[in-house]
């Protein structure tokens, strides 16, 4: 008989209306020692985020009540919940859904059907990345009118804070840590989302466009290297 892991501190919020899928996810997460809460109605999700304060959420896109994308938009626009990592669960696997979710601030996605092993691996990787950003070098980086503070997850332009998604901040921090280096789209995906992650070139480009727009005058610091990827010119 396999030994069930002792509970960890991490709490996972599952927002999934298909009972069999929710139960399967809950079973596998609890076997790994995670504390799990399940919500089946989209209308109940925003309050669950605020009340549960999970370390990570698994969010189905097709839900009764509020859709997964609507929930993601609400959660990522709330200063109390925007830093909570969100992994989207989608049966569609369409690029438009993936891009829309990433633009709203989702951290990762898994296309149904998925294996429990893949699910657990993605959850672990996402939690590690979240902790990594929090525990990263706390020194303040300044480039012209742009200031970055990784430990506090803050980016400022002309001393005004920017409203970046978690993924946008990670991309910006990744590029800023290696000024002058050219990073391919795949290197950006691997660093931000983990190795062998099936994000398309289009998804990375969308993130960069959104990031440049929010950076305003500092957006020119992110340069496109045609046919290769991106670099930070600071």
Q: How does pLDDT run across 73-83, given as a tens digit for each residue? A: 999 888 889 88
What pLDDT was estimated at residue 3? 47
* Pair 180, 108 in one domain: no
For the chain, give the percent of residues with pLDDT over 90: 42
Tokens of 123: 């959850």
Q: Which residues pair with 35 in a beta bridge?
A: 11
Residues 121-158: pLDDT tens digits?
889 878 877 776 554 555 788 888 999 987 777 899 99
Of residues 15 and 133, the one with the higher pLDDT is 15
Q: Is residue 17 part of a domain?
A: yes
Q: Is residue 145 part of a domain?
A: no
Q: Give CA separation, 143 vs 137, 140, 220, in Å.
A: 17, 10, 11
Confidence of residue 201 (pLDDT cuts 50, 70, 90): low
Full-model pTM = 0.62
The domain containing residue 176 runs over which residues? Answer: 165-232
Q: What is the CATH number of the domain that holds 79?
A: 3.40.50.2300
Q: Is residue 37 part of a domain?
A: yes
**Measured CA angle at 185 (ends 183, 188), to 5 deg:** 65
Domains identified in the chain, total number:
2
Residues 34-52: pLDDT tens digits?
999 999 999 999 999 999 9
Q: Write down which residue in 110, 133, 156 finishes a domain.
A: 133
Tokens of 155: 């980016």
Q: Is residue 25 part of a domain?
A: yes
């Amino acid at each position: 008989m396999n030994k069930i892991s002792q509970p960890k501190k991490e709490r996972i919020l599952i927002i999934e209306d298909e009972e069999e899928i929710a139960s399967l996810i809950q079973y596998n997460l609890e076997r790994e020692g995670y504390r799990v809460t399940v919500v089946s109605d989209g209308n109940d999700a925003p309050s669950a985020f605020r009340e549960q304060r999970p370390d990570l959420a698994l969010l189905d896109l097709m839900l009764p009540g509020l859709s997964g994308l609507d929930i993601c938009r609400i959660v990522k626009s709330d200063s109390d919940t925007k830093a909570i990592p969100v992994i989207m669960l989608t049966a569609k696997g369409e690029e438009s859904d993936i891009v829309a979710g990433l633009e709203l601030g989702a951290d990762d996605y898994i296309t149904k059907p998925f294996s429990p092993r893949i699910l657990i691996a993605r959850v672990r990787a996402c939690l590690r990345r979240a902790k990594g950003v929090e525990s990263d070098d706390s020194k303040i980086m300044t480039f012209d009118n742009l200031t970055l503070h990784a430990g506090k997850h803050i980016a400022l332009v002309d001393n005004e804070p920017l409203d970046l998604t978690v993924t946008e901040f990670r991309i910006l921090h990744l590029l800023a840590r290696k000024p002058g280096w050219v990073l391919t789209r795949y290197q950006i995906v691997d660093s931000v989302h983990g190795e062998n992650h099936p994000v398309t070139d289009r998804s990375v480009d969308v993130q960069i466009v959104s990031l440049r727009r929010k950076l305003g005058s500092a957006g020119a610091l992110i340069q496109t290297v045609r046919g290769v990827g991106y670099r930070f010119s600071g």
